[in-house]
Structure 1
């Protein structure tokens, strides 16, 4: 198998890497991440103008990419810059709409690709423990409308999204695979309440509650009671994206550490000349390459049948969780106390790597899921 990127993907990566290095330096990123909105609408629009959002979607949906390797190329570059703009939820919500949306709903994809509409996934709940099928938020039929009631946790950019992709149970037990329905819920619908907060790794998220929100049938995405397959596919795309982002962040953290070992001196010589530290750097570099291989495998499997695809993305997420924590710990230890300071970019890369493990399922969850999928 040829793992070399196409010329178009190489050009995409070069363009995005250059834009991030010139326009999204660490000081700019830190200012944006700590701002009241938690991201920059201006830069979000410029990313759209560059075609970065469009690269995440198929040509049939108005984009010019959409494959697993397109996603991984984009998010690896985003990880190198610790970009906080809402790429992940745009990908997940957009892919769900593209897969199961009616024609009127698919018309929304143009607004996602041009950056004019901010969307957010509202699926996780306080007690769901990463299980996709555990949904306690309820949607009940009342005449010609639906009434939604429940709460969603850690909704990325929830304060500024104009549309939520929300999962709700329309039948069955709280953890049944059948009976989950997806809804597109406007932010300004009566009964939608959002409480925002700052995230530890930069940017903002929100707790969103739905108090007897009334929607008509046009809000249903896909088939009633059959939303799990669409949700699983879209979140699988998101897991791949997170894994690729982590690889980009690991590369930068390693490079920072290597440069520090070359310049920091003890006993009159660079500490990078100490053989014990060289061994630790070599081991860490090997682990990062293993993580990269897992992402390549997941990207290649994104278009495969369900079991192959889901096992590949879970294997990648497990690897990323384990290796990301290792890289964060090793880089900080090799820097010493300075590695924990706010002013040093490395500390922010380490925090992001740790938090990626907890998004869309941690390493323990995905290891169990990988084993369970193999036993089916």
Structure 2
């Protein structure tokens, strides 16, 4: 198996790395944090102009025809700069869901606008009591004439406050935890009955809680088949989880590198603290953790497109559990080895800590994915 990147993938990675170095310094990121929606529209348009928003979409739709490996390269580079723009929620999660499951009309309506940076999408599937289970859906969709009426609430929807369109999971039949009976609907965020309360998350990104009160949608708002939305949603979340792992990998590598640099320059007792063997051992532990995570992300990126959903879910959960565990280790060790300065707003290492801590709960905690993996293994035995 060839693990080498293609020339096109190398060009994409080099371009994103250059953007982070030149346009997304820590000071520049602070200015982005102050933006109304928590990200820069100018940067988003730059992503569109560079073709990055079109990477996962087919060439006939105006995209670059890339795959998850291309996305992983972009996300890892974004992680090094703690990029705040909603690439994960709008392009990987929502865009990927439409590209794989939308009707021709939906693709023609949404994907070119996504690629051009003119429209933002978000997926509203988590609920207050769902605990990362995509099948735990209490939001209801009742047939009403030629369409549906949606009622319910969604919690911590990434990118909701800035989205133009939501992809909402709602139950058209079945009981609360049934995998059957879940449908996906396109909902305009400006439609009557849609209420979004945005807020800033731990790492500075934006999310929102969504309330749907008798929201009327047409029949053509249905994504895929009625009652068959679980598999599509579960696959989309798995793809997004791998991308999030790549983002965390980039953040871990940056935090490790900055910590090693600090050990080389910070002096105590007249010598760099990096000369102390105990700290050298801890730094080596960080390096080996980063490289082990790199292997897990690579494995998951190869398996997430597997036609067997069980193999896909097991690979994704294995990666998320492992990377989440190491992310917490690296974040905490990086702050500890910096000492008190590591907790200040003025130093970037504390922001990497927040980014990685946020990741640990994104798309499922380590405990959730460990149990998911164990349950899948037991069922396959």
TM-score, reference length from structure 2: 0.97
- How much does 1:57 deviate? 2.5
Report the RMSD for the aligned CA atoms in angstroms: 1.0
- How much does 1:332 deviate? 0.5
Q: Name the counterpart of 2:104.
A: 103
What CA deviation, in whole Å up to 9, does each residue of 1:209-238 have, x standing for no partner? Answer: 000001110100000000001001111110
Distance 1:51 1:354 in 2: 30
Q: Name the counterpart of 1:34.
A: 34
- Name the SS of the counterpart of 1:207 in structure 2: strand
Residue from 237, 250, 255 that aligns with 1:235 = 237
Aligned residues between the structures: 376
- Name the SS of the counterpart of 2:250 in structure 1: helix
Q: How does 1:354-369 map to 2 (within 5 A)?
A: 354-369=357-372
Q: Name the counterpart of 1:83.
A: 83
Q: Kindly indicate whether the alpha-carbon contact (under 8 Å) linking 1:61 and 1:98 is maintained by their aligned counterparts in 2.
A: no
What CA deviation, in whole Å up to 9, does each residue of 1:309-339 have, x standing for no partner? Answer: 1111111110111000000010001111111
> Which protein has greater RCO, CA pairs closer than 8 Å, 6+ apart?
1
Q: Kindly indicate whether the alpha-carbon contact (under 8 Å) linking 1:342 and 1:348 is maintained by their aligned counterparts in 2.
A: yes
- How much does 1:4 deviate? 1.3
- How much does 1:60 deviate? 4.5
Is residue 334 of structure 1 aligned with residue 337 of structure 2?
A: yes
- How much does 1:157 deviate? 2.1
- Name the SS of the counterpart of 2:207 in structure 1: strand
Deviates more, 1:86-95 or 1:338-347: 86-95
- How much does 1:160 deviate? 1.5
Distance 1:129 1:16 in 2: 34
Q: Name the counterpart of 1:192.
A: 194
What CA deviation, in whole Å up to 9, does each residue of 1:98-120 have, x standing for no partner? Answer: 11111110111111111110111
Distance 2:190 2:327 in 1: 38
Distance 1:157 1:95 in 2: 15
TM-score, reference length from structure 1: 0.98
Q: Kindly indicate whether the alpha-carbon contact (under 8 Å) linking 1:58 and 1:67 is maintained by their aligned counterparts in 2.
A: no
Deviates more, 1:179-188 or 1:52-61: 52-61
Is residue 93 of structure 1 aligned with residue 72 of structure 2?
A: no
- Name the SS of the counterpart of 2:134 in structure 1: coil
Q: Name the counterpart of 1:13.
A: 13
Q: Name the counterpart of 2:24.
A: 24
Q: Name the counterpart of 1:220.
A: 222
Q: Name the counterpart of 1:52.
A: 52
- Name the SS of the counterpart of 1:159 in structure 2: helix
- How much does 1:8 deviate? 0.8
Q: Kindly indicate whether the alpha-carbon contact (under 8 Å) linking 1:38 and 1:203 is maintained by their aligned counterparts in 2.
A: yes
Residue from 110, 113, 116 that aligns with 2:115 = 113
- How much does 1:63 deviate? 1.8
Is residue 295 of structure 1 aligned with residue 300 of structure 2?
A: no
What CA deviation, in whole Å up to 9, does each residue of 1:139-159 have, x standing for no partner? Answer: 011222200000011112212
Is residue 317 of structure 1 aligned with residue 346 of structure 2?
A: no
What CA deviation, in whole Å up to 9, does each residue of 1:256-279 have, x standing for no partner? Answer: 100100000111110000111000
Deviates more, 1:54-63 or 1:232-241: 54-63
Distance 2:63 2:317 in 1: 26
Distance 2:276 2:61 in 1: 54
Distance 1:45 1:335 in 2: 36
Gaps of 5+ in 2: none
- Name the SS of the counterpart of 1:56 in structure 2: coil
- How much does 1:195 deviate? 0.8
Distance 1:251 1:65 in 2: 28
- Name the SS of the counterpart of 2:215 in structure 1: strand
- How much does 1:296 deviate? 0.1
What CA deviation, in whole Å up to 9, does each residue of 1:117-168 have, x standing for no partner? Answer: 0111111001101111000000011222200000011112212211001100
What CA deviation, in whole Å up to 9, does each residue of 1:317-369 have, x standing for no partner? Answer: 10111000000010001111111100001110110001011111111111111
Q: Kindly indicate whether the alpha-carbon contact (under 8 Å) linking 1:243 and 1:320 is maintained by their aligned counterparts in 2.
A: yes
Q: How does 1:158-197 map to 2 (within 5 A)?
A: 158-197=160-199
Deviates more, 1:280-289 or 1:218-227: 280-289
